[in-house]
A and B are shown apart, each in its own frame.
Chain A
Amino acid sequence: MDAETFAMIGKGLIVIGAGLGIGKIGGSAMDAIARQPEATAKIQTAMIIAAALIEGIGFAALFA
């Protein structure tokens, strides 16, 4: 097991984490929209921003 292997495992873990995070955001946004359909636009905007920020971490891990 050399350093590169561990780096790959780390990248995998980060991607799993980012996936879980974005999934949680999406799920919560669905709940919120179901409760308040009239606030859909605002919820979607907030959801996309949060998802994009997490996605940035994921990509940074993949390309670093």
Chain B
Amino acid sequence: MMKAKLNIIATLLVLFSTTAFALEHPDDHSHDHGEGQTMDLKTEIKQTIKHHLKDAHYFELYHGLAMPLPVIIWDNGIHLFMSSSFDHGHALANSKGNYYNLDHGKIYKTDSEGHVLDNQSIIDFSITKNVLVIILMCAFLLISFSKLARSYKKGPIPTGFGRILEPLVLFVRDDIAIPNIGEKHYKKYMSYLLTVFFFIWFLNLSGMMPLGINVTGSIVVTFSLALITYFITQFTANKNYWGHIFWMPGVPVPMKIILLPIELLGTIIKPFSLMIRLYANITAGHVVLMSLIGLIYAAQHWLANGAFFGLTLFLGVIELLVAFLQAYIFTMLTALYFGSAVEEHDDH
């Protein structure tokens, strides 16, 4: 009974997400093409997809219903105001005598007439849509996992949401950490592996919700995650790891010299591929889904509409699988790199 209910809720979520994406009108792009001029469907779909993939200073819940977010700018002092002062790029924001303009999601410093000042550079620390989602997700993870931890004081079986989380934690420990890092060293990496697994997975899943969230499809986020993996790998590595990079044991000396730059480059390429893989998979998934939703609107015949609807639903379900798979692969490869950093060689 409970399962059937969950199935219905999941199906409804997918259905709603399709409509919400498509209805999300590229509102703050309309001024580029002159007011009142209607775009043809193809450009509109293209722009909606482009708009969705980018970070924004608004949290758009629905067409015309956008939540303003705080803007924080460093420009010889902190300027703090809400993004609603931009009026979706139609107005200049005035803060402490300086004027700012929002154009295609980027903030420029302007004079009072709206002309962009070229020589003035500002640093944008704003709480954008992605930042807000990340903060909310951190709070969600913190609450749900501390609840899970507290529930072990009462008894061996967790209650509520913790019942879903416990097998996943065990999955990360038994199927990712221990086989790749080894019984001896896995414990000190568990906190990072669990964090990164649930962070990526839940953010991927939130990208499938009808709110138009696209955090893991932003290369800055995946870059930061890969950078943390890189630093942890390098700083916890033992002498065997460095030995294999700088002076590969068991090969002739000329070969050692050839291998040195390759191995050094390899330490960079590994986190780089982590970054690209997650970013590209999620971006590609969102583009394909939104293009199919666009096809529903572009198709002229009800039969084609139905077919594209079915295809969208199918790919939506596939994307739910991809959301898990990418979190799994990121965690798995991270564990693999950690394992190579602490591996102990007794003989060669």
Chain A residues within CB distance 8 Å of chain B: 41, 45, 48-49, 52-53, 55-56, 59-60, 62-63
Q: Is the CB of B276 within 8 A of A59?
A: yes
Taking the closest CB of chain B, its distance from the CB of A47, in whole angstroms, is: 11
If A48-B329, A52-B332, A59-B281 are given as contacts, then 15 extra A-B residue pairs at C-beta distance below 8 Å, sorted by A number, are: A41-B175, A45-B179, A45-B332, A48-B325, A48-B328, A48-B332, A52-B329, A52-B333, A56-B276, A56-B277, A59-B277, A60-B273, A60-B276, A62-B280, A63-B276
Per DSSP, chain A at the interface is: helix
Q: Does B336 contact A (CB under 8 A)?
A: yes
Q: Is the CB of A56 within 8 A of B332?
A: no
Chain B residues within CB distance 8 Å of chain A: 175, 179, 273, 276-277, 280-281, 325, 328-329, 332-333, 336
Q: Is the CB of A49 within 8 A of B273?
A: no
Provide the residues of chain B in CB contact with A56, threshold 8 Å: 273, 276-277
Per DSSP, chain B at the interface is: helix
Closest 5 CB pairs of A and B: A56-B273, A59-B280, A52-B329, A59-B276, A56-B277
Q: Is the CB of B332 within 8 A of A49?
A: yes
Taking the closest CB of chain B, its distance from the CB of A37, in whole angstroms, is: 18
Q: CA of A63 to CA of B179 in the docked complex: distance in angstroms?
A: 32
In the complex, which of the residues A49, A55, A60, A63 contacts B336, with contact meaning CB atoms closer than 8 Å? Answer: A49
Q: CA of A59 to CA of B284 in the docked complex: distance in angstroms?
A: 10
Q: CA of A32 to CA of B75 in the docked complex: distance in angstroms?
A: 61
20 contacts between A and B (CB under 8 A): A41-B175, A45-B179, A45-B332, A48-B325, A48-B329, A48-B332, A49-B332, A49-B333, A49-B336, A52-B277, A52-B329, A55-B277, A55-B281, A56-B273, A56-B277, A59-B280, A59-B281, A60-B273, A60-B276, A63-B276
Taking the closest CB of chain A, its distance from the CB of B321, in whole angstroms, is: 12
Residue of A nearest to B273 (CB): A56
Q: Is the CB of B273 within 8 A of A53?
A: yes
Q: CA of A56 to CA of B272 in the docked complex: distance in angstroms?
A: 9
Q: CA of A53 to CA of B337 in the docked complex: distance in angstroms?
A: 13
Q: CA of A60 to CA of B219 in the docked complex: distance in angstroms?
A: 13
Taking the closest CB of chain B, its distance from the CB of A57, in whole angstroms, is: 8
Taking the closest CB of chain B, its distance from the CB of A22, in whole angstroms, is: 13
Q: CA of A41 to CA of B179 in the docked complex: distance in angstroms?
A: 11
Provide the residues of chain A in CB contact with B277, threshold 8 Å: 52, 55-56, 59
Provide the residues of chain A in CB contact with B329, threshold 8 Å: 48-49, 52
Q: CA of A32 to CA of B120 in the docked complex: distance in angstroms?
A: 62
Provide the residues of chain B in CB contact with A62, threshold 8 Å: 280
Provide the residues of chain B in CB contact with A63, threshold 8 Å: 276, 280
Q: CA of A25 to CA of B134 in the docked complex: distance in angstroms?
A: 36
Taking the closest CB of chain A, its distance from the CB of B23, in whole angstroms, is: 30
Taking the closest CB of chain B, its distance from the CB of A63, in whole angstroms, is: 6
Q: CA of A60 to CA of B325 in the docked complex: distance in angstroms?
A: 19
Taking the closest CB of chain A, its distance from the CB of B305, in whole angstroms, is: 30
Taking the closest CB of chain B, its distance from the CB of A54, in whole angstroms, is: 11
Provide the residues of chain A in CB contact with B179, threshold 8 Å: 45
Q: CA of A45 to CA of B280 in the docked complex: distance in angstroms?
A: 21
Taking the closest CB of chain B, its distance from the CB of A61, in whole angstroms, is: 10
Q: CA of A59 to CA of B332 in the docked complex: distance in angstroms?
A: 19
Most A-side CB within 10 Å, residue of B175, B273, B332: B273
Provide the residues of chain A in CB contact with B276, threshold 8 Å: 56, 59-60, 63
Q: CA of A53 to CA of B269 in the docked complex: distance in angstroms?
A: 11
Provide the residues of chain A in CB contact with B328, threshold 8 Å: 48
Q: CA of A45 to CA of B199 in the docked complex: distance in angstroms?
A: 21
Taking the closest CB of chain B, its distance from the CB of A39, in whole angstroms, is: 13
Provide the residues of chain B in CB contact with A55, threshold 8 Å: 277, 281
Residue of B nearest to A64 (CB): B276
Provide the residues of chain B in CB contact with A49, threshold 8 Å: 329, 332-333, 336
Taking the closest CB of chain B, its distance from the CB of A20, in whole angstroms, is: 19
